[in-house]
Amino acid sequence: MNARNILRSLATFVAVGVLATGVAGAQSWDTPSGKYLTEEEYKKLSGDEALEYCEKLAQEIDIQNDNAATANSMLSDIDAEINALRAEVSRAKAGTDPLAADVARLEAMLKDLQDLPRSYTVVPGDFLIKISKMRRIYGDGSHWKRIYRANKGDIKNPNLIYPNQVFLIPRGMPSRHTVQAGESLRIIAGYSEVYGDRSQWERLYDANTGTIGGDPSLLLPGMELSIPR
């Protein structure tokens, strides 16, 4: 038997007793606001008043039960969200979260790039291919021409470099290129740091028509070309 039915049974029992004694009371309760009768006040109620009072108490119990159920449901949802966040933090700390792993990998790559030298001082026995092949330079001897192009002012002959010369080691993908004597758009597009593909020369021309003019074959040394990506 639930609380509502118990109260109703109690009210019926008390009401019968009250009617038998002929005692009447005044309605002086307000259950929604928390004003309840004392035992002595309850005994003074008439049978109808006792039934009404117990009915109000039963309604309040229903309301409180509903509120409790809603609160419990909300707590369950909050607990679930907290547990999910804790699991996410644990995965991130453990390095098992795919996004966290990607972030860590990219941060490591960025640190490696930031630590790479931006210049190199020639020592006896060096040559451009050897320098380019060094792990901390490019790790690939075929990129020696990039060092040569970046240091043409100091390298008169790529086969002749000297100890204590300091060469710039360009990094990343440049956004601009200064035309050197003998270069064409096809040659520039073929550079590994530009496109690595001579057939892409039209991209350079389209981006620099205002500088080059109507004839893409007329490049002048010193022209500054933008390199669209």
Give a three-class secondary structure readout of the chain: CCHHHHHHHHHHHHHHHHHHHCCCCCCCCEHHHCECCCHHHHHCCCHHHHHHHHHHHHHHHHHHHHHHHHHHHHHHHHHHHHHHHHHHHHHHHHCCCHHHHHHHHHHHHHHHHHHCCCEEECCCCCCHHHHHHCCCCCCCHHHHHHHHHHCCCCCCECCECCCCCEEECCCCCCCEEECCCCCCHHHHHHCCCCCCCHHHHHHHHHHCHHHHCCCCCCCCCCCEEECCC
Tens digit of each residue's pLDDT (9 = 90 or more) over 62-116: 777 776 676 666 667 677 777 788 787 777 666 656 676 777 777 776 666 667 7
Q: Is residue 27's pLDDT more than 60?
A: no
Tens digit of each residue's pLDDT (9 = 90 or more) over 196-221: 999 999 999 999 999 999 999 999 99
**Structural domains in the chain?**
3-93 (no CATH), 116-226 (3.10.350.10)
Q: Is 18 exposed, middle or buried (0-12, 13-18, 19+ CB in 10 A)?
A: buried
CA 145 to CA 207: how far, in whole Å? 25
pTM greater than the 0.75 cutoff = no
Instruction: Look at residue 2 in the predicted model and tell me its pLDDT.
Output: 47
Instruction: Look at residue 177 in the predicted model and tell me its pLDDT.
Output: 92
Tens digit of each residue's pLDDT (9 = 90 or more) over 159-191: 999 999 999 999 878 899 999 889 999 999 999
